[in-house]
């Protein structure tokens, strides 16, 4: 696998995306602390009292961004891994991975910074294009074995 240029490119961009998800999780925790909005009573008690066992709109925004990442990055990890096994052009594959990664980064920035619409939607749509392309190519390759 380490000699497979496509798989190594996939590995690079996937790792960037996983690290981005960790950063969003850390940001969520920091916003919880700053806003004193804890999801568990034991955390609230440790940080000032049960009155801080509550929801906060900024924390919820971070959580939605993180959930959206899981809904989109996990399928990409599957599709990209299978696509890498199809022996696609390394340059074309790299473009697929780059577009998805860039789209997800822009999506997260737009979500967390509440950028003006339709920035987040456009980033989401652009990131979906390579996923649909990879899924179609996987289906076409697998069709003879159906």
The domain spans of the chain are 5-139
Q: What percent of the chain has pLDDT over 90?
A: 98
SS3 string, the chain, reads CCCCHHHHHHHHHHHHHHHHHHHHHHHHHHHHHHHCCECCHHHHHHCCCHHHECCCHHHHHHHHHHHHHHHHHHHHHHHHHHHHCCCCCHHHHHHHHHHHHHHHHHHHHHHHCCCCCCHHHHHHHHHHHHHHHHHHHHHHHHHHHC
> What is the value of pTM for the model shown?
0.94
pLDDT per residue as tens digits for the range 31-63: 999 999 999 999 999 999 999 999 999 999 999
Residue 1 banded pLDDT, cuts 50, 70, 90: low
Domain 5-139, what fold?
1.20.120
């Amino acid at each position: 696998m380490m000699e497979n240029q496509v798989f190594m490119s996939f590995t690079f961009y996937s790792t960037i995306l996983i690290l981005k998800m960790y950063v969003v999780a850390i940001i969520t925790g920091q916003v919880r602390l700053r806003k004193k909005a804890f999801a568990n009573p034991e955390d609230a008690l440790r940080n000032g009292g049960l009155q801080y066992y509550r929801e906060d709109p900024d924390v919820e925004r971070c959580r939605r961004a993180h959930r959206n990442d899981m809904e989109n990055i996990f399928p990409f990890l599957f599709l990209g891994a299978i696509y890498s096994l199809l022996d696609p052009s390394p340059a074309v594959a790299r473009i697929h991975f780059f577009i998805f990664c860039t789209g997800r980064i822009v999506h997260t920035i737009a979500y967390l910074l509440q950028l003006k619409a339709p920035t987040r939607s456009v980033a989401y749509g652009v990131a979906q294009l390579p996923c649909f392309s990879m899924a179609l190519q996987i289906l076409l390759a697998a069709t003879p074995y159906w």
